[in-house]
């Protein structure tokens, strides 16, 4: 599981490498050196440099994006059949968000696994999902293939979400075109 807030995923009283060692020892019985070797490889795959140094840092010493990528690296090592990603891009800057989504997409392809991706960000959902389920106040209001739901939403709540996203995208594009206009 990849949680929404990386800071809360790790025990703040110890370095993040302890989390990896305990998790991987429980799953595979690996020693500290096996854990470091496998985590280092996985961390490099998600663009984290100096993995051993990062594993010896406390969560508060790392950015949210780094912690998200560390959780993804752990997921790479665990190779699950199902990944649950709960708002994994919330509170990330745009570049880090793009990197995290790309890593999740590649991870899903590499492991050929299922992913339950929970998000309010329709742009991210459209990029990563095959099928989408829309909820409103805890109830499922629409489901289907991503393209069908985005192009022909049938429920009023889904129509509102999609139209709002399109309106925001259109407004952003208009602002950007105005900035490009000669003075």
**Average pLDDT in the 65-79 region?**
88
Res 91: pLDDT: 65
The listed CATH number (2.30.30.90, 3.90.1200.10, 3.40.50.300, 3.40.50.720) that belongs to domain 1-122: 3.40.50.300
* 181: helix, strand or coil: coil
**DSSP-assigned states of every residue in 21-59:** HHHHHHHH---HHHHHHHHHHHHHHTT-S-HHHHHTS-G
pLDDT surpasses 70 at 182: no
Is the per-residue pLDDT at 183 higher than 60? no
For the chain, the domains span 1-122, 130-183
Helix ranges, the chain (H) = 6-9, 16-28, 32-45, 51-55, 64-78, 94-111, 122-128, 146-151, 156-180
Pairing of strands 131-136, 114-118: unpaired
pLDDT at 72: 86
Whole-structure pTM value: 0.77
- Least confidently predicted of 77-86, 109-118, 158-167, 170-179: 170-179
Mean pLDDT check: name the lowest of 41-50, 65-74, 94-103, 124-133: 94-103
Is residue 96 over pLDDT 90? no
What DSSP element (H or E) covers 133? strand 131-136
Task: Give the rounded percent of residues in the chain with a pLDDT score beyond 70.
Answer: 92
């Amino acid at each position: 599981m990849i949680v929404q807030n990386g800071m809360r995923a790790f025990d703040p009283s110890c370095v993040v490498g302890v989390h990896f060692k305990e998790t991987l020892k429980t799953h595979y019985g690996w020693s500290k050196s096996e854990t470091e070797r496998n985590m280092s490889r996985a961390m490099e795959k998600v663009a984290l440099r100096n993995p051993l140094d990062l594993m010896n840092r406390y969560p508060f010493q790392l950015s949210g994006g780094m912690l998200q990528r560390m959780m993804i690296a752990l997921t790479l090592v665990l190779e699950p059949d199902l990944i649950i990603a709960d708002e994994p891009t919330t509170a990330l800057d745009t570049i880090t968000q793009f990197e995290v989504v790309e890593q999740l997409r590649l991870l899903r392809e590499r492991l050929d696994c299922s992913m339950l991706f929970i998000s309010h960000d329709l742009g991210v959902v459209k990029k990563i999902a095959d099928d989408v389920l829309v909820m409103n106040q805890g109830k499922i209001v629409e489901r289907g293939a991503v393209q069908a739901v985005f192009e022909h939403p049938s429920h009023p709540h889904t129509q509102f979400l999609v139209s709002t996203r399109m309106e925001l995208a259109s407004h952003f594009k208009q602002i950007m075109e105005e900035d490009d206009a000669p003075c």
